[in-house]
Structure 1
Amino acid sequence: MNSVFWLRCLAAFWLLLWPAAARADEGMWLPLLLKQLNEGDMQRKGLKLTAEDIYSVNRGSLKDAVVQFGGGCTGEIVSNEGLLLTNHHCGYGQIQQHSSVDKDYLTNGYWAMTREQELPNPGLTATFIVRMEDVTGQILQGLPANQPEAEREQTVQQRSAQVAQKAVAGTHYKAFVRPMFGGGEYYLFVTEVFEDVRLVGAPPSSIGKFGGDTDNWMWPRHTGDFSIFRIYAGPDNKPAPYSAQNKPFRPRHALPISLDGVRPGDFTLVFGFPGRTNEYLTSWGVDEIYSVSDPVRVKIRDTKLRLLDQDMKASDKVRIQYAAKYASLANYWKKWQGEMRGLKRLDAVRRKQQQETQFRQWVQQGDATRQAAYGQILSQLEQQYQLARPYVIARDYATEAALGIELLAYANSLQNLVDLIQARAPQAELQAAIEKARKGTTSFFRNYSASTDQKVAAALLPLYAEGTPEALLPDYVKQLKNRVGKPRTGWGAYPPNLTPAQRKAIQEANAGPVTWERLVDDIYGKSMLTSNENAQMVLDRLAKGASDILLDDPAYRLAAPIVATYRQQVLPTYSQTQDQITLLQRTYIAGLRQWQPERKFYPDANSTLRVAYGQVASYQPADGVQYEYYTTLDGIMEKADPTNPDFEIPKRLAELYQQKDYGPYAVNGTVPVAFTATNHTTGGNSGSPVINGRGELIGINFDRNWEGSMSDIMYDPERVRNIVLDVRYMLFVVDKYAGATHLIREMNLVGAAGEAQPNGANASSRLKKQKVKVKREKTSAR
């Protein structure tokens, strides 16, 4: 046998052992466990700090400069006065709420030149992690191994609430408990939540969203994806509701900002709140995502986004109303496409099947105890996934298509008022619910276009009707579906006193077969829920206990059976199968950890604080193609296209480029914009600080590459890259473009590391006492 044969055998052998060891730079690690699991590996890759410098309860550490921004992003503190950086797309909703046609901060940007100009954002929070604790013993003590999942979860929730309440008793802190490894372990998180977070600065969309949907999830990237906020606190530096008397928050630690730049192989640490990953799925779970959910959701969102885009381009008002909605929809629409492509390229289902074959062999070779614990686990998981599939399809069509129609979603939001009236609830309870609905209604219609939504409804309703399994489709929708294509007759008597010409016009309008467009036109034309004025009148009637006005509304009459069918026929079986999958998956993960005791396992992301570490690196997306690890301002100018809204650039930016007026932020005659690294990230890591080996901010994480978007399910070290905004571009925009130099003065800018700390010596001490140093001369190479 020749050497080629043996090389192939060796490659096949390692493929089978693929899950046995954590792959390079994969993982979203709990900060609490870095000392025992990761410190040595991180230092070998270039970290100059200790695990305690990253996470400490007893003194200021990196964790004290990291916040969960709102409910779904991350931010970092960069000044001793609570200045906070995050992504432009994370602050997009707040920027949009402050925008109007007259004050279009989305298009033009916003910069507060004084503290008085910093804009409050009701409902926006910034959450610090005070400490973490393993409370598995307190949560799981005495729980039967085979307890039904619903009963187990109820007990777990009760115990979790008790543990959390005890942990913060007598303090202003909050707390929660989160499961790890499918519920095999539990951790307590004590938090400090600040409620007064104000908008300080945002670049125009032509910088903050440069590249638009065209470049989203793509590399090379040139997006200045950042926005600036400030946390305010009460006089005691503790969280307080918004007040003009609040003061800028004084943090335990603020990240210094490095002007050094990055080079290939440089250590990178991402500290943030990744949202959701599923790295330990079986082959059936991966196939469900790849073959069912992702294709359905992409098809529906593709349709909706196309229609929104048309109306947003035709109207500035609609553009502003739907800017945040469109961005949210488009983000995962494109991600799912890349995810499907990546899973196919990795042959993910087959690789999971190979792992399962190896697992079965391990089980069969074990003793009776091992076989009893794990012998049936995979066949039981397969059975549950097969049972769940039609209900997964029905779930996706109901949530994405039917309730993706805003009118139906709004109509459904009023269901609780009908329930209160029919239950003869106390008047005070009904009035409180009405007042809440009034506020929600006003907020809803502020960013709603009935004509746009009607177009969406005409396109999504047939997708819902055709895609949902027939047995799980509401009878009312079946009736509508059966009318399509048939003659349009019996649509009501003519109004009195019509002229012959008017009768003829009505006859012509009603001629031809029934279509979804006509059905939808009838619904929107007769509904009282398509404008704020009429919806408030409906609430007036509901406040008097008259529910008929809502029950007879055509939008409600359509929404109610869709939601009822979903809750009564889809959700019960779907929930039962998911409970069983959760229970079985927990056992399977426990088996994987027992099978591979040498492997360092990390828990799937679940919006809790995590560390991901890696190195600056380029990558090869396809055969014959090599991408560099950085982009520059030159690339922005090369992409600039005034005829394409995604690639418009501000006049001021072009002037700075022509004048080469870059300040201290230039390298080799241009300004660095973004770079790539191998950190394992996901949704929720948007806005996360990217930190070098000395604990200094070098970038703001804002995306992944399209070729690596399947990393929520399977990590590929060759192609998975996180995309990072280089802090020097942020500083350049704030300083030279916006003229907001006062914000730069707040920050702790540090120059060449060799000068500040020779050879990185005593790097950890810099966390305890940072020197303010602004290096104005040209910095080192990329």
Structure 2
Amino acid sequence: MKKVFITALAMLFMHPVLWAHEGMWLPSLIKKLNEQDMKESGFKLTAEDIYSVNKSSMKDAVVLFGRGCTGEIVSDQGLILTNHHCGYGQIQAHSTVENDYLTDGFVAKEMGDELPNPNLEVSFIVRIEDVSAKVLAGVTDEMSEEQREGMIKSNSDAVAASATQGTHYDAIIKPFFYGNEYYMFVMETFKDVRLVFAPPSSIGKFGGDTDNWVWPRHTGDFSVFRVYAGKDNKPAAYSPDNVPFKPRHHFPISLNGVQAEDFTMVYGFPGSTQQYIPSYGVEYVTEVSNPVKIGMRDKSLGIIKDAMESDDAVRIKYSAKQARIANAWKKWIGESKGLDRLQAVEVKQNQEEAFKNKAQGTEYAGLLDEFKEDYNAVSQYHLARDLFVEYFYYGPEILRFADRFDKLPTLADSEDINAIVKEVEGLSGVSKGYFKDYDTETDRKIFEALSAMYADAIDEAFLPESLKAAKASGNFAKLTETMYSKSVFATQEKVNGLLLKALDAAEKVKANPEDEKAQQSLRKAVAAVGKKVKSDPAFKLSKEITATYNDKIRSEYGELSAKIDKNMRKYVKGLQTFFPNKKYWSDANLTLRVTYGKVEGSEPQDGIEYLPYTTLKGVIEKRRTDVPKTHEFYVPEKLVKLYETKDYGIYGQGDELVVCFTGSNHTTGGNSGSPVINAEGQLIGINFDRTWESTMSDIMFDPEKCRNIVVDVRYVLFVIDKFGGAKRLVDEMTLVKAEEPVEVE
């Protein structure tokens, strides 16, 4: 039976329609590839309503939010809905123990109260263009990969420059199908984005880590921002004089709710998938990479959890960090389980066998044997890289912070005195922000635990001398004591003392830029600081780790990965050649995509059948009354009263209030905050997660198990209006009832 099952899945690989709801499609190609199928699935509009260059369309209401989320415009005054976890960093940045917006939520009573967020940007897609011919002009098979990439970069730069010349737009060009095709995305980016509304974490993060990636879900995962522009409606740096942005399109919001089998579409910026990787890649993920990364994050999360529970100040400092670490940790656990359940390695092997049979006597013969050799060769470097990333970028912060001072040991020699002033002042500013969200004792415990794990897991040839010595002695406690007692980077007081004289000297140079004596004093002060930094134990270990990675890992990993990528380009082209009846979609790469499916429950395990929706009743059933309001299952008393009186306003459905629902849409990271749209082009919810059984969909999609999780837009409006008292925001929006059909503008 197992063999029959695997063979059947392999046959699906060759079928014209692989799975009904699989795929993340470029909106500019919907008319060509998907419009008919979408209409047959219930969609009532046209491909041009989804994407158009010549008139307003849905694409004009979808934004890339920050560095890796999606948001949607829901009013003609630039109001944005996205996820609570997408806005979490901004909410946390505005929070203090006295004004704890994370715990208590935030409501801007009027526009003047909306909070600016330095460094937060949102980008609209102006147009998408296939530029494959222009980018690949002059590229030949005889070129080395380095020559090929050089030619492609040169061509891409020229194409992007030409597309944006004389405009305020930006353009990025990204490879599709591993470089067989290239598309240009012309974007308009706004840099004045303000926080408008955030529910308390007891709503926006209800269920916490326990419910993360889990269904049934009862999380009101949303936050509200607003885009501001100059008076000409174009992007402008933050200014009190800026005005709300007037969008080309905003989503009307349906109050009609959803039913099982209803058409749904998710429009957003999915981050990354690996659907085409061969069986050797899947084996590495499930048997090597995920177990190691899960173990390291499990250890650090335990330390952070204990620290957050013991101190409110630490809780606020580490809330965003904890969420960032925990999200991927739990995802990897589910991904490994799902790939194992799907027998993904065997399925891939059967697909590869079908490819081999077709490839005999062609240029593709032997390609999969090359993959095997390449993956065997890269494995030790791949693991070393994964460990480096986990330890250096997600482990003890003292090493990353020390690395920020990398220029100081040689800074005094710079001929540009203004650059010296700028660097010293910049480091002072970085330090203030860093220590606002840092706790020395928590970081100390993480350092000791993860240093031992890192040293144990990595090949000794890639282990820095300091960690090698600690491993040999078995005494990581001694290394930790030395690090945190002697390093200036362990406390804000020590860093302030380190920079004090240099900052004073920099101020004198700024006051009198031509004063050579002041310049000499600054150089002398900076040289003294640089000398201390160079001998600092945290800085030294940071340099050891990064130098070891750069000298022994990066190059080899890069060369072998480039070879794999080259063969992947050939492999995907071969698939399209040998199995031409299948509709192919390119792996996600944080570009605008459409995925569609339907409202649908699931049967994740034998004997378990899930409904496709949850209600406020479930929130109350999960409620804990014996916990503080920072607990993941605390429910605010006001929400309890609204439930008990069934005071749902226009947002209820009879005597129920739907909180979340699931759909069979193919989503991934980056789709967080994406609009979920019904057949009429109206907003019905905000995508925020997948079920735990779905997390393997980045590599292999299972239509029977994969479900995306959506917060119902009616619950969002209920929380804004009835709970939060911000009806002014709802009044901005276009609400649609059954008797008021709305066409796309």
- Asked if these proteins are the same fold (TM beyond 0.5), I'd say yes
Give, in whole Å, the separation in 2 of the partners of 1:56 and 1:262. Answer: 27
Q: How many residues align?
A: 716
State the alpha-carbon separation in 2 of the partners of residues 664 and 693 from structure 1. Answer: 22
Q: Does 1:193 align with 2:177?
A: no
How far has the Cα of 1:435 moved from its partner?
A: 2.8
Any idea what the Cα deviations from partners look like across 1:257-309, whole Å, max 9, x if unmatched?
A: 00111111111010000000000000011111111111111111000000001
Determine the structure 1 residue equivalent to 2:440: 450
Secondary structure in 2 matching 1:647: coil
Provide the residue aligned with 1:545 in structure 2. Answer: 527
What are the equivalent positions in structure 2 for 1:519-668 lying under 5 Å apart? Answer: 519-539=479-499, 540=501, 544-546=526-528, 547-643=530-626, 645-668=631-654
Instruction: Tell me which residue corresponds to 1:767.
Output: 744
Shift of 1:767: 1.1
1:756 matched to which residue of 2? 740
User: Structure 1 residues 37 and 538, CA, compared in 2 at 3 Å: closer, same or farther?
Assistant: same
CA distance in structure 1 between the aligned counterparts of 2:151 and 2:547, rounded to whole angstroms: 29
Of 246, 249, 253, the match for 2:245: 249
Partner deviation per Cα, 1:335-388 (whole Å, 9 max, x = no partner):
000000000000101110111111000011xxx5xx2x2112111111111111
Structure 2 runs not aligned, ≥5 long: 503-522
Do structure 1's residue 300 and structure 2's residue 260 form an aligned pair?
Answer: no
Q: Does 1:694 align with 2:680?
A: yes
Cα-to-partner distance string for 1:102-131 (whole Å, 9 max, x where unaligned): 000000000111111100001101100000
CA–CA distance in structure 2, aligned partners of residues 427 and 538 of structure 1: 20
Q: 1:158 pairs with 154, 158, 183, which one?
A: 154
- Aligned-residue offset at 1:482: 1.8
Contact kept? 1:420, 1:430, Cα under 8 Å: yes
Given candidates 425, 429, 436, the residue that maps to 1:439 is 429
* Residue 409 of structure 2, aligned match among 415, 418, 425: 418
- In structure 1, distance between residues paired with 2:26 and 2:37: 15
**For residue 165 of structure 2, what is the aligned residue in structure 1?**
169
Equivalent of residue 695 in structure 2, options 695, 698, 709 = 709
Q: Does the 8 A contact of 2:409 with 2:531 survive in 1?
A: no
Q: Where does residue 511 of structure 2 map in the other structure?
A: none
Q: Quick one: which amino acid aligns to residue 623 of structure 1?
A: D
Give the SS at the match of 1:723: strand
**What's the CA shift string for 1:58-112, capped at 9, x where partnerless?**
0100000000000110000000000100000000000000000000000000011
2:398 pairs with one of 395, 403, 407: 407
Show the 5 A alignment for 1:70-85. Answer: 70-85=66-81
- Quick one: which amino acid aligns to residue 498 of structure 2? V
Task: Tell me how far apart the structure 2 counterparts of residues 16 and 325 of structure 1 sit (CA, whole Å).
Answer: 41
Displacement of 1:710 after TM fit? 0.3
User: Alpha-carbon deviations, 1:554-589, whole Å to 9, x = none?
Assistant: 111211111110110011111111111111111101
Taking the aligned partners of 2:563 and 2:626, their CA distance within structure 1 comes to 53
Distance 1:585 1:738 in 2: 51
Q: CA deviation at 1:11?
A: 5.5
Deviation at 1:402, TM superposition (A): 4.0
Shift of 1:672: 0.3
Deviations 1:181-234 (A, max 9, x none): 001100010000000000000000000000000000000000000000000000
Listed one character per residue, the Cα deviations across residues 505-547 of structure 1 (whole Å, up to 9, x for unaligned) are xxxxxxxxxx322320221011111123322443456862232
Rounded Cα–Cα distance in structure 2 between residues aligned with 1:719 and 1:419: 56
Distance (Å, rounded) in 2 between the aligned partners of 1:158 and 1:432:
32
TM-score by length of 2: 0.94
- Contact 2:7–2:350 (Cα < 8 Å) also in 1: no
Partner of 1:680: 666
Matching residue within 298, 302, 305 for 1:309:
305
> Rg: which structure is higher?
1
SS of 1:690 mapped into structure 2: strand
| Residue number among 5, 11, 15 corresponding to 1:17 in the alignment | 11
CA contact (8 A) 2:254 2:736 kept: yes
Equivalent residue for 1:734?
720
Q: Report the AA paired with residue 273 of structure 1.
A: F
Residues 185 and 565 of structure 1: is their aligned pair in 2 closer, same or farther, counting only changes over 3 Å? same
Quick check: 18-27 or 725-734, which moved more?
A: 18-27
Q: Could you give the per-residue CA deviations for residues 748-770 of structure 1, whole angstroms, max 9, x where no partner exists?
A: 00011xx224xxxxx6xx112xx
What are the superposed Cα offsets for residues 718-769 of structure 1, whole Å, 9 maximum, x if unpaired? 00000000011011111111111111110100011xx224xxxxx6xx112x
1:388-407 matches, within 5 Å, as 388-403=378-393, 404-407=395-398
More divergent stretch after superposition (154-163 vs 599-608):
154-163
C-alpha contact 1:401 1:463 (8 A) present in aligned 2? no
Does 1:517 pair with 2:477?
yes
In 1, the alpha carbon distance for the partners of 2:683 and 2:410 equals 52
The alpha carbon displacement at 1:146 in A equals: 4.3
Larger mean CA deviation between 57-66 and 411-420 belongs to 411-420
2:59 maps to which of 63, 71, 75: 63
What amino acid sits opposite 1:18 in the alignment? L
Distance in 2 separating the partners of 1:47 and 1:23: 18
CA deviation after TM superposition for structure 1 residue 424, in Å: 4.9
Give the unaligned 5+ runs of structure 1. Answer: 485-514, 758-762, 769-782
Query: Following superposition of structure 1 onto structure 2, how do residues 316-331 of structure 1 map, counting pairs within 5 Å?
Result: 316-331=312-327
SS of 2:196's equivalent in the other structure is strand
Displacement after TM superposition at 1:14 (Å)? 2.8
User: Cα deviation per residue 1:230-264 (whole Å; 9 max; x = unaligned)?
Assistant: 00000000000111111100000010000111111
Q: What are the equivalent positions in structure 2 for 1:28-47 lying under 5 Å apart?
A: 28-47=24-43
- 8 Å Cα contact 1:417/1:430 also seen in 2: no
Instruction: Report SS of the residue matched to 1:374.
Output: coil
Residue 350 of structure 1 aligns to a residue whose secondary structure is helix
* In 2: Cα distance, 1:329 partner to 1:55 partner: 35
Question: How far is 1:12 from its partner?
Answer: 5.9
SS at 1:613 equivalent: strand
CA distance in 2, matches of 1:320, 1:705: 28
1:394-422 per-residue CA deviation (whole Å, 9 max, x = no partner) reads 1122221244210011112222333545x
Question: Among the aligned pairs, what percent are the same residue?
Answer: 49
Residues 402, 464 of structure 1: 8 Å contact kept:
no
Moved more, 698-707 or 405-414: 405-414
Q: Residue 264 of structure 1: which of 260, 267, 283 is its match?
A: 260
User: What secondary structure, in the 3-state scheme, does the structure 2 residue paired with 1:545 have?
Assistant: helix
SS class of match (2:285): helix
CA 1:158–1:435 in structure 2 vs 1: closer, same or farther (change >3 Å)? farther
Provide TM-score, normalisation by structure 1. Answer: 0.90
Aligned AA for 1:517? A
Which SS does the other structure have where 2:547 is aligned?
helix
Letter in 2 for 1:409: R
Contact 2:411 2:526 in 1 (8 A): no
Counterpart residue identity of residue 453, structure 1: D
Cα distance between partner residues in 2 of 1:300 and 1:193: 37
2:508 is matched with: none
The 8 Å contact of residues 410 and 527 in structure 2, kept in 1 or not, is answered as no
The residue aligned with 1:228 is 224
Say which SS state the counterpart of residue 70 (structure 2) adopts.
strand
